[in-house]
Structures are given as C-alpha cells and as structure tokens.
Structure 1
Amino acid sequence: MSIELTTQELHNLAMNVVGKDLEKQGFEFISVNSQLKKDPQFVCLKNKKLHFVVVKAVLYPNNPEKYDVTYMETMKEHALKFKARTYYAGVGIANAKNYEAPITKNENYIINYNGIIEI
C-alpha cells in the first residue's frame, strides 16, 4: 500500500534540498523553521550579511520558479527592517514513474530545483 506524503513531509523534503544547497554555498544558519506557513524557513549569514530564504515545495505540473510576487515583496519589506536580503527557493517535486501521480513514501521522486532566486 502506498502512502502519500503529507504537505509537511513534502515541505521538509524541499527544506533538505535547499539546506544542502545553502551549506554548499557557504551560508551559516542562524535559524531554521520547518513549520508550514512560517516564513522565512532559513535565516542565514554569509559574508557578515543577513539572508532570509523562503522555501516552497511545488508539485508537478506547477513551475517551482514561479512565486507569489505580492507575498515575496511583503517578505522583502520585512527583511529590509533587518537589513537582510530576501530569496525564494522553489523545489519542484514529482513522482518519478508518473509525474501526474501523487508522491508516496515507497516510490522514487524527481526534484526540480535550480537554486535560490533573489527578490
């Protein structure tokens, strides 16, 4: 029996992908929040500058690089109060066998992630 991943599990998957990418780029984590609808997910330091990263798990066929402009502008205004730079990280997730099928615990999946996008 295949059990579908919950929204929180998909979000955690996306968080892992982005977290590894940020580590590779030399970001230092100040705080990490993996709760859904609690943005930003990552507050990081790099070159002594503060960075806010908002992570979203995006299911196929939606484009992981397309984000809610109004919402991200609100996040940017919030970040500017802390002199922080704002980034969006969309992580596309699809079932490896059938893109249209749900993502389940016992099946492989495909990740579509092209890095963080500065807002």
Structure 2
Amino acid sequence: MGKNQLMGEEDLHYLGIKVVYKDLIDRGYEVLNVRKEMDIDPQILARYNGELLFIVVRTATYPNMGVLTPRVAARVKHHAAKHKAICYFASVGIANADGETDEEMGKPVVNGEYYINYKGLLPFPH
C-alpha cells in the first residue's frame, strides 16, 4: 500500500454518492439533482413513480457503514415535509480491495480498487 494516497473524507463521501447515483439510474429513478458538499443534506433529489425523494448518503470505511444521525434526519424530514418529499437513507461502506488485513481494507486509496457494501435505499426512521 506504500505510496498510494489514502482517500480523504470528501473523496469517500463523493464515492458513496456515485455508488448510490449509479444504482438509482440503473433502477430507473429520475435523478433531479446531486450535491456532493459534505454539509448539504440531502445529497440526492430524485423522482420515482411520480414521488419526490430526498436521499441522504453517508459513507464510511470498512468495517463500518455510513450512519444517519437523528439531528440530520430531523432536519431533512422537516425540509421534506415542505416539499411533500419522501426521505430515504443510503448507507455505504467502502473497503480497499487490495488490502490483505482488516486494517489495510479499512484504508481505501484514491483511484484504487474497492469492495462496496450498499444494500439500497432505507426509509427514514419514524
């Protein structure tokens, strides 16, 4: 792993968004807007079957998965209510595919190979 540059938080966040975006397109969702800034929620606005969707994406490194905090959930739900949107959460985990140990797998590198853990959109907790 020597010379490879480790992914920073922004790189990791953006990779997670790209994973979710590709899945949405593949499933026939109409993606209306994507925001990759880390301090903007939701990251993705989409439409599916005539319904507006607010999608929050969080990404973490192996062995973890992205986590939706109650504060973010409450803020996004409040915003979504004004627009009659349905809120979803996309949790993404990224592992370095070239890593041979758990520690190495937990350090993805820029332009590396990755294992992606993503199980699709999850409805917001009530």
Compute the TM-score of the two structures, normalised by the length of structure 2. Answer: 0.84
Identity %: 36
Distance in 1 separating the partners of 2:80 and 2:114:
33
Q: Secondary structure at the match of 1:73?
A: helix
**Paired residues of 1:11 and 1:34 also in contact (CA < 8 A):** yes
Residue ranges of structure 1 left out of the alignment (5+ in a row):
none
Q: 1:29 to 1:63 in 2, by over 3 A?
A: closer
Equivalent residue number for residue 100 of structure 1: 103
Equivalent residue number for residue 68 of structure 1: 69
Deviation >3 Å, runs of 4+: none
Distance in 1 separating the partners of 2:111 and 2:34:
27
Q: Shift of residue 40 of structure 1? A: 0.7
Q: Shift of residue 44 of structure 1? A: 0.8
**Paired residues of 1:94 and 1:100 also in contact (CA < 8 A):** no
Distance in 2 separating the partners of 1:99 and 1:37:
29
Q: Secondary structure at the match of 1:12?
A: helix
Equivalent residue number for residue 30 of structure 2: 28
Q: 1:106 to 1:38 in 2, by over 3 A?
A: closer
Q: Shift of residue 36 of structure 1? A: 1.2
Equivalent residue number for residue 45 of structure 2: 43
Q: Secondary structure at the match of 1:100?
A: helix
How many equivalent residue pairs?
A: 118
- Write out per-residue CA displacement over residues 32-69 of structure 1, whole angstroms, 9 at most, x where no aligned residue: 111112111111111221100011111223234x4313
Distance in 2 separating the partners of 1:70 and 1:35:
18
Deviates further, 84-93 or 74-83? 74-83
Equivalent residue number for residue 85 of structure 2: 84
- Alpha-carbon RMSD across the aligned residues, in angstroms, is 1.6
Distance in 1 separating the partners of 2:63 and 2:7:
17
Residue ranges of structure 2 left out of the alignment (5+ in a row):
none
